[in-house]
């Protein structure tokens, strides 16, 4: 090969190298941004931890949700795990619910995709939704595995300060929950502010874990039920309705005397009698004393004098037969036995809260708060500032005062006497509700109730304790009621 040919090949090679350099330079200068974005897009991964929802607070701004920090671990394979042994990198975040979450039945629970399924979560689902998710973004290889020197970021790790505020008081709620756990396995407690009719606490037992809803579905004791909103046989707490109705009709009835032999004959059925809880009777008893001693015969006579229509009308005025929270199928309306015609047996049963009468613990708390508030009633609320605070008169001040006085006597020397020593001046009414439900041991279940308020001289709190198959309100409900009063007074001392 001569020199000329070598020079031509060298020149051609230089030309090719020059053109390649120009092309490389062009891509470096003009295409760098697009190339970089393409590379980044191919090497980033994003994993969603949960659907983001607005937090829920108590009346004082104490969080009821997002109370506990949990840790998730990104594994070397690009998956999320709760096990630290598989951790490539750890990420702390606030869990929606945890073992520290109070008011489980009030708050309700959500589905895996973040939809409210019960309680406040369902009732205010649209208001609690947000467009964001709690997620992790990181640099990865083509298979989604995290890179050692990669970029990691947790989106929305903290709860938003803007959320829903309930009327619930966290401290009172926890007191009620702790006492219920100590005394009652199946039942509920409801506490209402007697002036505002805001719900300060609502407890249902048994409880359930929001972290394992399928397990709750499988349990035979129905822990997902909010028993504060379920309808039950009323028993003698319904004598508050009968007392208010008869005194509105004739206030002098308060000092009338009745004779209780322990039995009351039925006009409808031959040889059938209604019984007082005291088998040998109370003898001659004044109406106010009959209330304190829960004398059935006294109230049988009052019911006959009233008639069914007056009993039904007063019951409806006091808040029975209706839903108060409007949160759907979770709340029962109960039954006030509104019919086109009544037998005398119907009236006798109604007068003492037996038969077909069904009430919810929340309804009983509304009735009690109405009496404590001098006969004035407001719309019940559980979401702060959601309901109108206008009042309506339900019973006259004199009748409300007389019923409240009889409730105080019930505690001082009647069926609620086990709370007589409490310095917070408890006023209340016990109840033992026959259910007709025959248990496996061939005994009939009897529910226990205690409806009351405190302090008597300046009512602040109305409270109802309910115990499934508690035998009697005196035996199962008065003591936890008194205990809750004492614990509330430690947090919020009551001046008397």
Placement of tokens 């209402």 in the chain:
192
Residue 38 confidence class, pLDDT cut points 50, 70, 90? very low
Residue 68 confidence class, pLDDT cut points 50, 70, 90? confident
**pLDDT at 78 (0 to 100):** 87
Give the separation between CA 440 and CA 442, rounded to whole angstroms: 5
pLDDT digits (tens, 9 = 90+) for 371-428: 999 999 999 999 998 866 789 999 999 999 999 999 999 999 999 999 999 999 999 9
Tokens linked to 378: 């407001």
Mean pLDDT throughout 73-80? 88
Q: Indicate the angle between helix axes 296-306 and 239-249, nearest 10 degrees.
A: 50
Q: Exposed, middle or buried, 25 (CB in 10 Å: 0-12/13-18/19+)? A: exposed
- The string of DSSP letters for 53-103 reads E--EE-TTS-BSSS-EEEEEEE-TTS-EES-GGG-SEEEEEEESS-TT---
pLDDT digits (tens, 9 = 90+) for 204-223: 999 998 888 888 888 889 99
Instruction: Answer yes or no: are the C-beta atoms of 324 and 369 closer than 8 Å.
Output: no
Domains of the chain: 41-165 (3.90.1310), 170-491 (3.40.710.10)
Give CA angle at 469 (275, 332), nearest 5°: 95
- Sequence-separated (6 or more) residues with CB below 8 Å from residue 161: none
Mean pLDDT throughout 266-291? 86
Helix extents (H) in 238-292: 239-249, 287-292
pLDDT digits (tens, 9 = 90+) for 428-462: 999 999 988 878 888 889 999 999 999 999 999 99
Radius of gyration of the chain (CA): 34
pLDDT digits (tens, 9 = 90+) for 91-133: 888 888 888 789 999 999 998 888 999 999 999 999 998 877 7
Q: What is the pTM of this model?
A: 0.87
Cis bond leading into 206, ω under 30°? yes
Residue 2 confidence class, pLDDT cut points 50, 70, 90? low
**pLDDT at 160 (0 to 100):** 65
């Amino acid at each position: 090969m001569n020199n000329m040919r070598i020079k031509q090949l060298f020149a051609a090679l230089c030309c090719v190298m020059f053109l390649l350099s120009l092309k490389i330079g062009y891509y470096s200068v003009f295409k760098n941004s697009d190339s970089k974005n393409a590379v980044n897009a191919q090497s980033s991964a994003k994993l969603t931890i949960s659907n983001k929802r607005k937090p829920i607070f108590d009346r004082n701004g104490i969080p009821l949700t997002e109370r506990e920090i949990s840790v998730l671990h990104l594994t070397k394979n690009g998956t999320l795990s709760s096990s630290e042994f598989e951790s490539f990198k750890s990420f702390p975040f606030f869990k929606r619910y945890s073992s520290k979450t109070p008011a489980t039945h009030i708050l309700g629970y959500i589905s895996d995709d973040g939809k409210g399924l019960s309680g406040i979560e369902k009732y205010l689902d649209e208001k609690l939704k947000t467009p964001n998710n709690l997620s992790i973004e990181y640099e990865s290889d083509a298979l989604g595995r995290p890179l050692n020197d990669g970029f990691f970021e947790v989106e929305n790790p903290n709860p938003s300060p803007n959320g829903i505020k309930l009327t619930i008081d966290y401290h009172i709620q926890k007191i009620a929950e702790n006492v219920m756990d100590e005394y009652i396995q199946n039942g509920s407690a409801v506490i209402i502010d007697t002036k505002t009719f805001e719900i300060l606490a609502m407890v249902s037992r048994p409880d359930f874990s929001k972290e394992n809803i399928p397990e709750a579905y499988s349990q035979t004791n129905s822990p997902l039920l909010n028993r504060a909103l379920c309808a039950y046989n009323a028993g003698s707490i319904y004598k508050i309705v009968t007392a208010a109705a008869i005194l509105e009709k004739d206030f002098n009835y308060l000092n009338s005397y009745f004779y209780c032999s322990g039995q009351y004959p039925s006009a409808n059925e031959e040889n059938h009698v209604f019984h007082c809880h005291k088998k040998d009777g109370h003898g001659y008893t004044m109406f106010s004393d009959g209330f304190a001693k829960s004398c059935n015969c006294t109230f049988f006579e009052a019911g006959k004098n009233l008639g069914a229509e007056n009993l039904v009308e007063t019951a409806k005025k006091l808040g029975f037969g209706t839903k108060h929270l409007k949160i759907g199928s979770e709340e029962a309306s109960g039954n006030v036995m509104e019919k086109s015609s009544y037998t005398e047996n119907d009236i006798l049963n109604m007068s003492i809260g037996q038969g077909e009468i069904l009430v919810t613990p929340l309804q009983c708390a509304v009735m009690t708060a109405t009496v404590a508030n001098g006969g004035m009633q407001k719309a019940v609320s559980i979401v702060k500032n959601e309901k109108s605070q206008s009042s309506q008169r339900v019973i006259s001040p004199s009748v409300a005062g007389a019923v409240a006085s009889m409730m105080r006597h019930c505690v001082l020397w009647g069926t609620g006497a086990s709370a007589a020593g409490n310095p917070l001046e408890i006023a209340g009414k016990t109840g033992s509700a026959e259910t007709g439900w025959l248990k496996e041991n061939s005994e009939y279940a009897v529910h226990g109730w205690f409806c009351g308020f405190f302090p008597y001289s300046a009512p602040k709190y109305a409270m109802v304790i309910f115990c499934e198959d508690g035998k009697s309100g005196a035996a199962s409900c008065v003591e936890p009621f008194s205990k809750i009063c004492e614990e509330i007074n430690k947090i919020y001392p009551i001046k008397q």
